[in-house]
Amino acid sequence: MSILYTLQDPNTKWVLMGCIMLGISSGVLGCFAFLRGRSLVGDALAHAALPGVCIVYLLTGSKSIGLFLIGAGVAGLLATYSITAISRYSRIKEDTSLAIVLSVFFGIGIVLLTFIQHSASGNQSGLDKFLFGQAASLVHGDVITIMSVASVLLLLTTLLFKEFALLSFDPGFGRGLGYPMGLLDGLLMLMLLMSIVIGLQAVGVVLVAAMLIAPAVTARYWTDKLSRMVFLSGCFGALSGVLGTLISTQQENLPTGPTIVLSATCFFLFSLLFSPRRGILARLYRFVKLRNKVLVEDVMQSLYESLEELASRTRVGGVYLGISEDEIARKSGKSPAQVKRALAELRRRKWVVEREKAEGQAAWTFTSEGMKAAYPFILNQRLWDLYHMTQNQYLHVQIDQSREELAPQLTDEVLAQMLAQLEAYDLTPRLTESTPLYPMTGNNQGGVPL
């Protein structure tokens, strides 16, 4: 059955609209649960809702989303109170109390569900679909209820966005401003519970928590701004609902709930791999780039300091060719292969040149362009070393140690003082870009004259 043909079915359109609204509301509210560090609370509330739904069905004999909402809400509030009471009045931590409440309530729900299935009207109840969800079982009234509740939840989130942001990031500050953080926390939990309940029939008790967390975590990979995260999370939730519903209609006996969750998982995996800032590939690229940068800088520093030492003990006018790769490796502590790779990169930039010693051993020295790049780098490194050695003298200076460059953060007076200290400690870089090139075999290949 083609997707276009499927979309012409009025019932499919209604189910699709319900799943879209469910995905949006779950994604939006899931952001605040995720930022509050309460990802597991949604799972516990979802499992705790099952006994409430079953008890309402046993009492009324009606499969009404509105009545289920009341039963699940009462059960969810009882579960929330139980979690809080266990962790507050005992030595059991919150994650353990979550596991206890989730298991106990879900166990009671399964017992009641089994009892209903074996009762006279059990086959017509359809409550078994609440375990893994079946969006196709939604009727027109159910979809209207889902869309109405989801719209109310989105409206409340829009009106209380600033308050929920305070609750998520700094409830103490919000309490200081006079906001009722306890009441807002309870309201947020109630809204989460309502979002879970309207998703029970479509996604199921076991997996509905994934609709809260997966879109929120996915959105977090793409932005640092809360408003964008909430918007993206709603979009990912809606897209997951659309894809899951459409895919499940293409295959007979394919449950909608797991398909929607798998669609949300696909978005999460894509973001995990390819998001530009937090994605694994982007982080791996930055790690390799940083490692190569540090390697090149270490080798450049070792070459510069080796040349400096050579200059200090060689008579003026003596013969100078360069530093061998083995000497650079010993100086930098890098392996010969790493030194060779770094020198290749420096030669690609035309910063170093390879020469031949009299014995035929390869040696390296800077070109004039390389010396121009090496001098400020070495000066900056030594300024940082001096700053760390004499940090107490510069407590009055605002220094951001996460920045690479130190000199731009200093006033002219402080910079002059540090340069004078470098000179006193004999740490001033001796080889500068103004150093004339060493004439060798009649051509100008760069190097340091001695």
The whole-number pLDDT of residue 441 equals: 42
Answer yes or no: is pLDDT of 132 > 90.
no
Answer yes or no: is pLDDT of 316 > 60.
no
- Are 38 and 127 part of one and the same domain? yes
Structural domain that includes position 328: 279-366
Answer yes or no: is pLDDT of 6 > 80.
no
- Are 306 and 399 part of one and the same domain? no
Answer yes or no: is pLDDT of 384 > 80.
yes
Count of domains for the chain: 3
Mean pLDDT, residues 219-223 taken together: 93
State which of 240, 275, 310 marks the end of a domain: 275
- Are 243 and 312 part of one and the same domain? no
- Are 292 and 399 part of one and the same domain? no
The CATH number of the domain where 171 resides is what?
Answer: 1.10.3470.10
The whole-number pLDDT of residue 2 equals: 66
Mean pLDDT across the chain, nearest whole number? 83
**Model confidence, pTM:** 0.77
- Are 174 and 241 part of one and the same domain? yes
- Are 58 and 85 part of one and the same domain? yes
| Confidence at 123, pLDDT banded by 50, 70, 90 | low
Answer yes or no: is pLDDT of 319 > 50.
no
Does a structural domain hold residue 201? yes
The CATH number of the domain where 292 resides is what?
Answer: 1.10.10.10
Closest CA to 192 of 175, 221, 168, 218: 168
Q: Which residue has the higher pLDDT, 223 or 40?
A: 223
- Are 286 and 384 part of one and the same domain? no
